[in-house]
Amino acid sequence: MSFFKSIRSWLFLVVMVFVQLGSNKAATIPNDSAVSVLPVSPQANLVVSGFVDAYYALAFATPPAKTRAFTTQPLYHNEFSINFAFLSLAYSSDRVRGRFAAQVGSYVESNYAAEPQFWRNIFEANVGYCAAENLWLDAGVFASHIGFESAVSKDNWTYSRTIVADYSPYYETGAKLTWTPSSEWILSVLMLNGWQIIRETNSDKSFGAQVQWKPSSNILVNWSTYIGNDQPDSAARQMRYFNNFYAQIGLSEKLSLALLFDVGVQQRLNTTLPVWFGAAMIAKYAAGERITLAARAEYYSDPQGVLISTGTANNFQTLGISANIDVALTTNLLWRIEGRWFSSRDAIYPTENAAPRMNDGFVVTSLAFSF
């Protein structure tokens, strides 16, 4: 069976499953010779999953319009809101895999504002084909190959994301070739539309790579790269070169450490290459069977305002700390409390009735359900 027939069959199967879920009746695939049904191997798996993260946050510098500045999660001050929710349908077999997930929430409002309206509610929409043993080709919209943290809060060590996570892609659109030569190594190369975009903004394509090494169950080391021009065709090309590094280390059965470092440069006309970087350290401690503690220290420097332009003398140069308490109420319900503090070189944090200030922070509590 050709690859394209396989894709058509997978899409047909997705439609039939949604019909069955919507009607709560058994759906029957018609015996039509025009429909080519993908043979399901004994290893095939179809999974419906979902996630809802509800939160309430209080910012110390009361922001205008209740919208916090510079970090995207949590977004709103003094308001109950949904940070992120998705519903996903995923299929996998020996040779084919695919996933479609729809999303809503303030995370979407923050990170997808530049996308056309139609695309903003797509979390993932991709299909993959096993071209050879341990070699997969995936194409579509998928989670970024960059970074230690994802959009899904329950999968992260802290509730809110590090600054390096907020200013590197959460998602990307393109094609990815992934080779897993052994249980220790994962190698990927990517061709992308650009830096955290779904719809293309110019005639160029961007490229990325990922190398992940896991020599033991206690150590994981990752290096991800990105290179591309994200300026519109009407503007001069400005190439961006970006590196992301992180390491996850299990120091004991209860204590783990994550070290994160990002560095990037981007062309500017008639000037030297501006450099920005960010670093973070996160410690996680299992205090009990259901209680986990985490602490974070981070620093981010973008003095020429490549990614974060504040209009001040030093732009965004910020130190941050946070502390986190997680309580697993059940196997699929997680309650989290976090306090976070920022201190910047310039007065960049807006307030409702006064001049901007150099310091800001927030406390947030979240209840996250997954199935």
What CATH architecture does domain 40-370 belong to?
Beta Barrel (2.40)
Instruction: Answer yes or no: is pLDDT of 266 > 50.
Output: yes
CB neighbour class for 228 (10 Å; exposed up to 12, middle 13-18, buried from 19): buried
Instruction: Answer yes or no: is pLDDT of 210 > 50.
Output: yes
Question: Which range among 35-49, 99-113, 231-245 shows the weakest confidence by mean pLDDT?
Answer: 35-49
CB neighbour class for 371 (10 Å; exposed up to 12, middle 13-18, buried from 19): exposed
Q: Compute the average pLDDT of residues 343-365.
A: 93
pLDDT tier at 268 (50, 70, 90 boundaries)? confident
Query: In the prediction, which pLDDT does 352 show?
Result: 83
Q: Which of 347, 356, 344, 293 is nearest to 322 (CA)?
A: 293
Query: In the prediction, which pLDDT does 165 show?
Result: 97
- When the pLDDT of each residue in the chain is averaged and rounded to a whole number, the result is 89
Domains of the chain, by residue range, sit at: 1-39, 40-370
Instruction: Answer yes or no: is pLDDT of 125 > 70.
Output: yes
Amino acid code (one letter) for 53 = D
Instruction: Answer yes or no: is pLDDT of 1 > 90.
Output: no
Residue 64 per-residue DSSP state? G
Could you tell me which residues come within 8 angstroms of residue 354 by beta carbon, excluding any fewer than 6 positions away? Answer: none
Query: In the prediction, which pLDDT does 52 show?
Result: 98
Kindly report, residue by residue over 19-68, the tens digit of the pLDDT. 333 433 333 333 333 333 444 455 679 999 999 999 999 999 888 889 99
Instruction: Answer yes or no: is pLDDT of 272 > 80.
Output: no
pTM listed for this prediction: 0.85
Neighbours of 126 (CB within 10 A): 20
Q: What element of type H or E holds 19? A: helix 3-23
Q: Which of 281, 287, 270, 290 is nearest to 334 (CA)?
A: 290
- State how far the Cα of 367 lies from the Cα of 14, in Å rounded to an integer: 30
Can you tell me whether residue 368 is helix, strand or coil?
strand
DSSP assignment of 202-232: SS--EEEEEEEEEEETTEEEEEEEEEEE-S-
